[in-house]
Chain A
Amino acid sequence: MEYETIAAISTPMGEGAISIVRLSGSKAIDIADRLYRGKASLKDVKTHTIHYGKMIDPKTDETIEEVMVSVMRGPKTFTREDVVEINCHGGLVSVNRVLELVLEVGAVLAEPGEFTKRAFLNGRIDLSQAEAVMDLIRAKTDRAMNVAMGQMEGRLSRLIQSLRQTLLEIIAQVEVNIDYPEYDAEEMTNRMLKEKAGYVQNKIKDLLTTAKQGKILREGLSTVIIGRPNVGKSSLLNNLIHENKAIVTDIPGTTRDVIEEYVNIRGVPLKLIDTAGIRETEDIVERMGVERSRQVLNKADLILLLLNYNEELQPEDIQLFEAIQGMDAIIVVNKTDLERKISLDKVRTLAGQSKVITTSLLKEEGIDELEEAVRDLFFEQGIESQDMTYVSNSRHISLLNQASHAIGDAISSIDDGMPVDMAQIDIRRTWEILGEIIGDTVSDSLIDQLFSQFCLGK
């Protein structure tokens, strides 16, 4: 087959019970099989059958999702190509993660209308439907474009344009050295190139990480609950889970028996991680020391630190405060149903910027406050989740990742002692990829830049 294997989420985005990641193309089965763990390899199963198994991240061997996978070999499929459908049991988080993995191991994100287009190109749809297909492509593309344009106006678009301009100036300078070797332009050295490429790389990384809002919606905030023994960590956990009718992803069979549970708190998806660990190792700091635990905790997006209302602050509590310094945290003083022995003033001093909430988990008091605090912490900059259109968003992220790889390749070329014009290949590629994000791929602008930046002639 002559096309690349494409993938996309084929069910409407939202809280549907099941979401499907669909792949189509000659490598569809191969790609799915690389992520799939089940009774048999998907390569060996009969066509038009469905299989239970798990999706794993091949890099870490981590289980991502329990799935049902349909394998349908061409030509008796919608697109007449091999088609694999991965049924995930819901939620943005897991289905997105599966899509990401599929894209990582070799599929490309389907363009709007592409499955239908392929169905047509492979002769699946008859003549009378041809016009309709073309209308569909036009309509879907226009809509996707409109959405993309909507997002592109504003900060992201300006940022990308300025990065492209920076890249273009680098490229033009390298090109002028190549095409006009005797011209008295400043020679772009490897060191200068690396410096400039590094700047762009950082900016792209920033873009990817400051897309935190997107990440919150896509993956959930990794949240860790810490505190001394018997302050109510398990109660808090259970409370959050039960109150919010959470999607619980129980993942047995992994080495450490980790439990990840997703809860949706006032629109903020929390991923409560390593909770089993918390249950067992009550005194994380004592066991690992402040520095180590800081490293562990640093990976979390949100920390809920529990204190006992009924006890004075203990040295271990102080250590915990030290461990979470500078991180996004909420301090929960629990057990207000008992007598107050803790100094709330002291707690507030230690808490600094972090919000302090008092609760009685036993009497289910203060939980609303806690949930509001969580929401405020992440949505106070006025994130409007309806603006995060999924299709274009994942397209942008995927392109930004590609751009980040490309500029990374350029930098490693420089580090490997390759000549400037070799690194240039990847720098130019970065420029092109960023152009795809904002829908500008006209390569003539390089020639324009060259002749406006340098005075060349015979």
Chain B
Amino acid sequence: MTTTYLAGQYDVIVVGAGHAGVEAGLASARMGAETLVLTINLDAIAFMPCNPSVGGPAKGVVVREIDALGGEMGRNIDKTHIQMRMLNTGKGPAVRALRAQADKFDYQHEMKRTLENTEHLTVRQGMVERLIVVDGVCKGVITNTNAEYRAKSVVLTTGTYLRGKIIIGELSYQSGPNNMQASVELSDHLKELGFDIVRFKTGTPPRVNGKTIDYSKTEIQPGDDEPRAFSYETTTFITEQIPCWLTYTSPETHDIINSNLSRSPMYSGMIEGTGPRYCPSIEDKIVRFNDKPRHQLFLEPEGKNTEEVYVQGLSTSLPEEIQRKILMSIPGLEASKMMRPGYAIEYDAIVPTQLWPTLETKKIKGLFTAGQINGTSGYEEAAGQGIMGGINAACKALGKEPVILDRSQAYIGVLIDDLVTKGTNEPYRLLTSRAEYRLLLRHDNADLRLTEIGHDLGLISEERYQAFKNKKAIIAEEKSRLASVMIKPTEDIQALLKERGAGALKESVTAEHFLKRPEMHYEDIAQITPPEQPLSAEAAEQVEIQIKYDGYIAKQLLQVEKMQRMESKKIPEDLDYFAINGLATEAKQKLSVVRPLSVGQASRVSGVNPSDISILLVYLEQGKLAKIAES
């Protein structure tokens, strides 16, 4: 082994500068920890190798949560998108979600500039090959250029770079995303250190030149007219938007794919990694859902200054030749010129049950992992873990208490709890249905849920915090006002009700009660009985949602209370489950792997049933009694 040189000393080192890495680095530096971000390629900071988009159901809420904690993703996309849409507007507030199409190049440049201009943050190109581990504690990293960097904690965010392999038809080669250099040594090193590694797979569709698309054969998908933003800080809005377009596969597309399945690496056995069910390749969709006559394809521009268009829905690893034929079979794309082929990519990830809920590894103290390395997929999932990994790595380095979000506080909490408690056998994607308290984890109230935490950590500016407190006070004040103001059954009121198709008012009711009618909205109330100062749109929205869905919210809060009781019963990290006689064998094994920190977490481990939990409770109490007896 060649000798290394000491290249620097930091509090926190973040390996990787994708969506997880940048959030980890920024959070850590903003908390005051001297932070180094190392990336294989400085031009790939916050790179979007797949969809040029941010947000969507569940994911969009994660972006809001990151923003409420003081993270960057929301602010960055607000500055660099080409269109934004609020999804699920016809449904309840719990499932509304914002999605933006990004200018993928602007997004990267803007994020790089933010990193470069952040105090306590150093960004450097370099490929990490080994960790410095002394007595089970991570002390730093060593790069392929023999640079040795020392730190109190290290966050690995290796994405699809970790022993990445691209597959296109019969061709396969070692590579990170979009032909970047893969990181091979580090994966072997992690195995040496004793980590369980799994192999996952994902994929991306071909891109075509937009000038060669006949959009007249497609349907336009414009952004919202109303200005939208992810960040609670954003005050200037991008008004000029670029539309997306919708087209479909044709019967010919299906024929081409069916007759070339033998050349698909998915079916020839060339791919060993497990792919996600929720983003199957087009060949997978056609095989598994062969009764579906056509599949949607969204044409998404990759930016303002490029003609490249992403064909969403056409992820594939078929040979390039076949990909071109497929494109020509699609209405609007008959004459299109493919600019890059789609590909499948395999990569290494660690089994996430090897992590504590802080994202620190159980095996090596001071080592954290975040993003795709933990078995997830998606920029938002990566960023959500990134910020938590960065926060906890910095907390560790600075001697502060770690921060764990629970399942009722944030989608990020659901995501991390799922990963470290249940593990995952395919790339994990957040879905709103994974959250049992969906109604509490809304897009609109992310600030109310998390700003305090962000502020306590020093990630939220004083100015923003004051604005937040002010908003909170206004909401509370208006809610109490509406609870006392009466609305009388006047002619005007009855006329309004009739106009909305609602039943007439029989007697005077409080404004609060009136607002609970499905046909009524806060703006109606504000007209009937205006507040002293008009409310901001966000405050008004809060008042309306909190009042309208009060009963449902109360029900969920009751469930949360139950959960938190179990959550507050702590389990020692080193509990020997095999010494607990009553536990079923399966429970002993599963609990020994996961080593849950609370009885609540233990109850979510698969294979652990309620009687095991009872026995665990009894056992824990026995331990307490023993301590009392000794003292």
* A interface residues (Cβ-Cβ under 8 A, vs B): 2, 111, 113-114, 117, 120-121, 123, 126-127, 130-131, 133-135, 137-138, 141-142, 171, 175, 177-184, 416-422, 425, 442-444, 446-447, 450-451, 455-458
Residue of B57, B88, B621 with most partner-chain A CB within 10 A: B621
Bound complex: CA A111 to CA B615 (Å): 13
Given contacts A447-B433, A458-B315, contact A121 B552 (CB under 8 A): no
User: Does B518 lie within 8 Å of A418, measured CB to CB?
Assistant: yes
Q: Tell me the smallest distance from the CB of B348 to a CB of chain A, in Å.
A: 22
The 6 closest A-B pairs by CB, nearest first: A417-B518, A134-B582, A419-B92, A455-B289, A141-B611, A451-B277
Given contacts A117-B618, A134-B619, A421-B94, contact A179 B611 (CB under 8 A): no
Q: Which one, B113-121, B290-298, B479-487, is touching chain A?
A: B290-298
User: Does B91 lie within 8 Å of A421, measured CB to CB?
Assistant: yes
Any A CB within 8 A of the CB of B614 = yes
Given contacts A113-B614, A134-B615, contact A175 B433 (CB under 8 A): yes
Which single residue of chain B is at the shortest CB-CB distance from A4? B562
Given contacts A451-B277, A457-B285, contact A175 B432 (CB under 8 A): yes
Q: Which one, B360-368, B470-478, B622-630, is touching chain A?
A: B622-630
Bound complex: CA A127 to CA B624 (Å): 10
Bound complex: CA A182 to CA B431 (Å): 15
Q: Which of B162-219 contact A (CB under 8 A)?
A: 205
Q: Tell me the smallest distance from the CB of A140 to a CB of chain B, in Å.
A: 9
Residues of B within 8 A of A443 (CB): 436
Residues of A within 8 A of B288 (CB): 455
User: Does B611 lie within 8 Å of A130, measured CB to CB?
Assistant: no
Any A CB within 8 A of the CB of B279 = yes
Bound complex: CA A457 to CA B57 (Å): 14
User: Does A130 lie within 8 Å of B618, measured CB to CB?
Assistant: yes
User: Does A422 lie within 8 Å of B552, measured CB to CB?
Assistant: yes
Residues of B within 8 A of A444 (CB): 422, 606
Counting chain B residues whose Cβ lies within 8 A of the other chain, the interface size class is 35 or more
Which single residue of chain A is at the shortest CB-CB distance from B626? A127
Q: Tell me the smallest distance from the CB of B434 to a CB of chain A, in Å.
A: 7
Any A CB within 8 A of the CB of B87 = yes
User: Does A418 lie within 8 Å of B582, measured CB to CB?
Assistant: no
Given contacts A138-B582, A182-B296, A457-B285, 19 further A-B contacts (CB under 8 A): A2-B565, A117-B614, A120-B621, A126-B625, A127-B622, A133-B618, A134-B581, A134-B618, A135-B582, A142-B611, A178-B88, A419-B91, A443-B436, A450-B431, A455-B292, A457-B281, A457-B313, A458-B279, A458-B313
Any A CB within 8 A of the CB of B519 = yes
Residues of A within 8 A of B284 (CB): 457
From A121, A131, A137, A451, contact of B278 by CB (8 A): A451
Bound complex: CA A123 to CA B90 (Å): 53
Residues of A within 8 A of B610 (CB): 111, 141
User: Does A458 lie within 8 Å of B618, measured CB to CB?
Assistant: no
Number of interchain pairs (Cβ within 8 Å): 137
Any A CB within 8 A of the CB of B439 = yes
Given contacts A117-B618, A120-B621, A425-B439, contact A178 B95 (CB under 8 A): yes
User: Does B279 lie within 8 Å of A457, measured CB to CB?
Assistant: yes
Contact flags (1/0) for B596-631 with A, using CB distance below 8 Å?
Answer: 000000000010001100110111011001100100
Given contacts A137-B618, A138-B582, contact A420 B606 (CB under 8 A): no
Bound complex: CA A451 to CA B434 (Å): 14
Bound complex: CA A142 to CA B622 (Å): 22
Q: Tell me the smallest distance from the CB of B110 to a CB of chain A, in Å.
A: 24
User: Does B289 lie within 8 Å of A137, measured CB to CB?
Assistant: no
Which single residue of chain A is at the shortest CB-CB distance from B439? A425
Any A CB within 8 A of the CB of B312 = yes
User: Does B611 lie within 8 Å of A137, measured CB to CB?
Assistant: yes
Q: Tell me the smallest distance from the CB of A191 to a CB of chain B, in Å.
A: 14
Which single residue of chain B is at the shortest CB-CB distance from A449? B433
User: Does A446 lie within 8 Å of B433, measured CB to CB?
Assistant: yes
From A184, A417, A447, contact of B519 by CB (8 A): A417
Which single residue of chain A is at the shortest CB-CB distance from B244? A182
Bound complex: CA A335 to CA B614 (Å): 64
23 A/B residue pairs, CB under 8 Å, sorted by A:
A111-B610, A113-B614, A121-B618, A127-B622, A127-B626, A130-B619, A138-B582, A141-B611, A171-B433, A175-B431, A175-B433, A178-B88, A178-B433, A418-B518, A421-B91, A422-B94, A422-B439, A425-B439, A444-B606, A455-B289, A457-B295, A457-B313, A458-B315
Any A CB within 8 A of the CB of B229 = no
Residues of B within 8 A of A182 (CB): 87, 296, 298
Bound complex: CA A51 to CA B622 (Å): 37
Bound complex: CA A458 to CA B277 (Å): 11
Which single residue of chain B is at the shortest CB-CB distance from A442? B606
Bound complex: CA A5 to CA B315 (Å): 55
User: Does A457 lie within 8 Å of B618, measured CB to CB?
Assistant: no
Contact flags (1/0) for B266-279 with A, using CB distance below 8 Å?
Answer: 00000000000111
Residues of A within 8 A of B278 (CB): 451, 456-457
Bound complex: CA A177 to CA B312 (Å): 18
Given contacts A442-B606, A450-B433, contact A120 B88 (CB under 8 A): no
Residue of B277, B438, B549, B611 with most partner-chain A CB within 10 A: B611
Q: Tell me the smallest distance from the CB of B398 to a CB of chain A, in Å.
A: 34
Residues of B within 8 A of A123 (CB): 621, 625
Residues of B within 8 A of A457 (CB): 278-282, 284-285, 295, 313, 315
Given contacts A127-B625, A184-B296, contact A120 B431 (CB under 8 A): no
Which single residue of chain A is at the shortest CB-CB distance from B285? A455
User: Does A178 lie within 8 Å of B57, measured CB to CB?
Assistant: yes
